[in-house]
A and B are shown apart, each in its own frame.
Chain A
Amino acid sequence: MSIFVDENTKVIYQGLTGSQGSYYGGLNAEYGTQVVAGTHPKKAGTAVNGVPVYANVAEAVEATGATASCIFIPAPGVRGAVMEAAEGGVKFIVAITEGVPAHDEAYFYNDLKANFPDVQLLGPNCPGIISPGKCNIGITAGHIAKEGGPVGIVSRSGTLTYQALYELKQKDIGVTTCVGIGGDPVPGTSFIDCLKAFEADPETKAVMMIGEIGGSAEEEAAEYIKNNMSKPVSSYIAGVTAPPGKKMGHAGAIVSGGKGTAQAKMEALEDAGVRVGHNPTEAGELMAEIVAGL
């Protein structure tokens, strides 16, 4: 099994008519994802690579029965696009777009929580989600992941996620689902949301968690793992040597006022029984050991 998305997930691409949307929408469709519709307020009735375009998400849902949406809209339009997707009836929203203002993220996170509690948002500023062999929504190169299981991956970083998928594939280890939650200050889906889903998924036997400096999401995840997870977890945290007060590429990757350091996160995870690697390769090797012992 997989978490959040599988071979039956029908996906709408908001921004399918744009360069990013058409490119990645095309790759996702090639991978086997059910790319059923695009949206554009002025291009309803047209098609992109054979995929029909509707005026808005509600109409696309009505016509296709889609339950998920992927957003490739430029940052200024993301707040509107997220709410349009929720109001249109979609239950799983993946926002790939980078550069969304933090206040917008805090706003639509709380708006969804209050008014659309059954809607799950992933992102913004994330690579998306892939259940290898079944469904790939976003910008991950599908062929670097081996399908099956037993490992679930959740990560704040794009390239480190690819690195992890690739290293596991080299070791012939499959992945149930790999979720990129993104590097922004207010991610729609948290580590804990994913850990909870992996714990409940019978095919996922172990979880790899990739974090980075900034915020306290890793510490909260560690607390959750300690109290609620029966499955083994391995982890890697990027940014051990990052200088304080500097945003390291991601808007959320910043050590401020002595908080959010990699050291504190690694300690919290180790304290929760998580095996923490000191570089991505080591984290992969630790996971291979865990898998060998399952």
Chain B
Amino acid sequence: MDLFEYQGKQFFAAYGMPVSPGEIAFSVDEAVSAAERLGTPVMVKAQVHTGGRGKAGGVKFAADIDAVREHAGNILGLDIKGHVVGRVWIEKASDIAEEYYASFTLDRSAKLHLGMLSKEGGVEIETVAEENPDAIAKIWVDPVVGLSEAACREWVAAANLPEAAVEGSVDILQKLYTAYTEGDADLVEINPLILTPDGTVHVLDAKVTLDANSVFRHEDYAQYDETQTRDERETAAHEKGLQYVGLEGSVGVIANGAGLAMSTVDVVNQVGGSPANFLDIGGGANADVMAGAMEVINNDPNVKAIFINIFGGITRGEEVANGILEAMQRVDIDSPIVIRLDGTNADEGRAILAPNLSDKLMMEDTMLDAARKAVELAS
């Protein structure tokens, strides 16, 4: 779950980290009254789940209320890499002496938490990593041991932050680690972490991704689920509890298991087609789940053919076949369906499907042949 910047700042503030006062606004009028309450100058910042806001004109300094009105008007509705800005964060402007970078994420290879700190903030960390890797001080933290103050100090020293920034950084980084672990985050990133001319260290931007698997112990995370960026199709699939990722093509894909679903998308591409989605209906393939999946696919106007790829394991071929037929009765499908059914009792399952085959329901023995057929029907 990706948080908007302002949600990330509120999340950080709850762990005691210093952020600037600000308010969220959904309209120009709300932006103006927020700025009036905060007092100018302010920053007007687009809230979108993507980077590169500044370059796209989504972050502006406003010296006075007229400027707030102008910038909010321009930014609201702006399309930043396909994300249309629906809300802006109005924040008290800060004076900046220096900009740093700080983050924690999981190092999957080391199986430890990885903290990164750099004196070169305000630019993309990938760029720093490429051009000047020595400018990034890394620390690996064992989750069982945690981050001690002493280790944190060594880390800050390794990053060569100026004396004036040391105490504030040590404090913020320890809190950042707590927010990261207690908050079950996949990523917490402050870029930039700033030093102000009067010598305080301060969080100026926040990027937070939370682990959706942890919501059982964070009831308040439901609010973030509601603000995820999803297209209509993804919203419908999410409501049905389906693992769905929207793509751009014309072949709707339904498969059981994440690996097989990924593989199905790949094979459609491989034979010259373009998949409309990734959809994993899980290990089984009963009529309810299948009907839900078909409904989601059917509502995608780009879909011209549907490829159902099921491998029966514990779930037998007969059950899968009956599930598909029952689902087809419940959902009025517009596009032709190509089925590939393999695995446990595949022959029995195919025998059930056989009398129902038509130009709307076709069957192929192999994944490749089924993909070719679906691609042909979609073009």
Contacts and interface: CB of A to CB of B under 8 A. Distances in A.
B32 interface: no
Interface stretch (A9-17, A44-52, A158-166): A158-166
B240 interface: no
B313 A106 contact: no
A202 interface: no
Interface in A224-261: 236, 238-243, 246-253, 257-258
A102 B106 contact: yes
Interface in B358-376: 366-368
A253 B342 CA distance: 24
Contacts of A144: 313, 343-344
B313 A140 contact: yes
Pick the most buried of A114, A159, A251: most chain B CB atoms within 10 A of its CB.
Answer: A159
A100 B217 CA distance: 11
A279 interface: yes
B143 A183 contact: no
Contacts of A246: 245, 278
Interface in B109-145: 109, 111-113, 126, 142-144
Interface stretch (B37-45, B62-70, B253-261): B253-261
Interface stretch (B6-14, B265-273, B288-296, B298-306): B265-273
Pick the most buried of B211, B256, B262: most chain A CB atoms within 10 A of its CB.
Answer: B262
A106 B259 contact: no
A75 B256 CA distance: 21
B227 interface: no
Contacts of A110: 111-112, 142-144
B283 interface: yes
Interface string A34-57: 000000000000000000000000
B144 A107 contact: yes
Contact of B258 (A102, A183, A210): A183
Nearest to B258: A249
Question: Which of under 10, 10 to 19, 20 to 34, or 35 or more describes the interface residues of A?
Answer: 35 or more
A101 interface: yes
Interface stretch (A64-72, A86-94, A213-221): A213-221
Given A110-B144, A185-B106, A280-B263, A158 B367 contact: no
Contacts of A114: 142, 144
Contact of A163 (B181, B258, B342): B342
Contacts of B263: 160, 236, 238, 279-280
A159 B313 contact: yes
B184 interface: yes
A281 interface: yes
Contacts of A242: 245, 262, 265, 278
Contacts of B109: 215-217, 220
A242 B313 CA distance: 25
B108 interface: yes
A214 B223 CA distance: 27
B247 interface: yes
Contact of A216 (B108, B258, B311): B108
Pick the most buried of A103, A216, A250: most chain B CB atoms within 10 A of its CB.
Answer: A103
B122 to A, nearest CB: 18
Interface string B150-175: 00000000000000000000000000
A257 B278 CA distance: 21
Contact of A279 (B256, B261, B313, B368): B368
Contacts of A238: 259-260, 262-263, 266
A162 B343 contact: yes
A99 interface: yes
Given A110-B112, A258-B126, A281-B366, 15 more contacts: A160-B257, A163-B343, A166-B311, A183-B258, A212-B259, A240-B269, A248-B245, A248-B261, A248-B262, A249-B243, A249-B258, A249-B259, A253-B262, A262-B266, A279-B270
Interface of B: 106, 108-109, 111-113, 126, 142-144, 181, 184, 186, 211, 213-214, 216-217, 243, 245, 247, 255-263, 265-267, 269-270, 275, 278, 280, 283, 311-314, 342-344, 366-368
Please provide the 5 A-B residue pairs with the shortest distance between their CB atoms, ordered closest to farther: A157-B259, A249-B258, A159-B257, A160-B259, A159-B260
